[in-house]
Structure 1
Amino acid sequence: MEPTEIEDVIRTVCGQCELTLNLSHRQLTVLPISLSEATSVHRLLLNDNQLIMPPSEIIKLTQLQELMLDHNQLTMMPSGIGSLVNLTYLNLSHNNMSILPSEIGDLRSLKELWIVALGLVCLPEEITRLKCLVKLGARDNFIETLPCRFHKLLNLQWLHLGENRLHDLPDSFGRLLKLVYVNLDSNKFADVPTCLCELPALSCLSLRYNAVSSLSDNHILSFCHLTKLDMRDNPLVSRPNHWKGLDHILIGKTGLSEEVTEDIIRACTPHHRWKIHNGVGEEEEEVIEDGNSL
């Protein structure tokens, strides 16, 4: 799309005070200065472009509630991103960032944060200031440890940390009282962290493709309320006789098939789906794990 056409789109949105501005899939490498004039916009889609420079133009859009920047070539966020205090949804997935700015902790209204495949080696301590955060997708990074104050995310209900380098969790992780869904697939866990047994609302736990070779009876008792405990593709391959009737525990080897996805899709009860997704179907959220289901 030609620059003049982009300007026309922005001018139309501004002139009609529209709430959504969709500039996705336009092969944009830079953003026009006029974007900063779209101050009435609540929802800005800039995903699937070729943006390299931090889009400083968005800092003036203080009414923004949803911002999609996924699938670009960004290496950092613009200075001042913390001023977007009305943001409830932020998707940065599939960019070339290796760190998140400390300012991300200033996004006090944020409910969903998607940071999939950014090349992150850690999460900033400031992320624990996101008191309203309900859903965090941080799959496919290089994260080895979580911030020690991770338990401060008191409203967190859905967490995907699969395909990282975690081998343990903070002891205080068990204080995430609203956490319903946890995915820790493809990490480096040799044992099931005891703190997972302390999560009272947990319904679905997936620990596939780790190095867990045993599951104690104490863990079994603690996980009796789960609807799904997926331990497949670990060294733990045989089911003890006293596990009879514990069909919610999956062990053994599987291939990469549609069955894998379907099992996870069916994991949570309809009630928990409502709590996590506010009406968005579990099928959408589990198949589209990058947050771009909107």
Structure 2
Amino acid sequence: MQKVSFSSFHPFFIAAVLLFVFCFSACSVSSENISSASDFKSVHGKVVTQSLRRSAVFTGQEVRIENFSMCSHEVTQKEYEEFCAYNGAQPKDQFGKEEDFPVYFVSFYDALVYCNRRSIKEGLSPCYKIKNSSNPDDWGSVPKTNVDDVEWNSVECDFSADGYRLPTEEEWEYAARGGEKLLLEKFSGSYDVFEVAWFNENTSGASEPVKQKTPNALGLYDMSGNVQELCWLKQGKAVIRGGSFDSQEDSCAVYATGSVPVSARIKDTGFRVVRNRIF
């Protein structure tokens, strides 16, 4: 059988083949946000019937957790500023101000805008709808701090969409406890708060760059401490979880829970995002 040498092909044919390979590779990469996907950790769901000590959500009644993925870190100031402007106070050196510090001084409303803008930019289906639209450009100005808005309060969430959203309180605690393992550690990833959390005893009253402490069993950082994290609504308020640099030790526990008005923008409150897929 006669051997065919690559060098025997016409130079224009070779160039065309190389161009095709390059274009195909580029298109394949651009169809999936690789850097974004690498930051997400898979959380395999289950039906939880256990009553976990002091938990506000796992009390012995059946709680179904579907598969989802959670970002390994809190949304940073760099990530937030790529899609949104601040609608109140901006990060200050006093509370931590650099690209890799978590965003804060953001409200539940601000988080909705961020999630949908990022989803749209990455070609994903937005989760939130306000004024019968999933495009934040149609929502009007984001309500001012401590000014609740009836239309914004009527936000709808499509939990089946593949875009970015806030976790529910149940999803947040499930992930903080290590997912399927439902670990009983008091803090997310440890019984020792100093190992995993920035809180009022080891900070100077300011946040710290993300991903500096030990992650939990799922590879999630700062689920205890740094900034408290906004979750989906309960009884008209945004749930907050995880404690912050301004919190006492007990507020950083995986079961500690609280709430804030949906329009509040606070110096130690930020958020992280989830998606309805497993990476």
Q: TM-score, normalised by structure 2?
A: 0.23
The answer to which structure, 1 or 2, has the higher relative contact order (CA under 8 A, 6+ apart) is: 2
Q: TM-score, normalised by structure 1?
A: 0.22
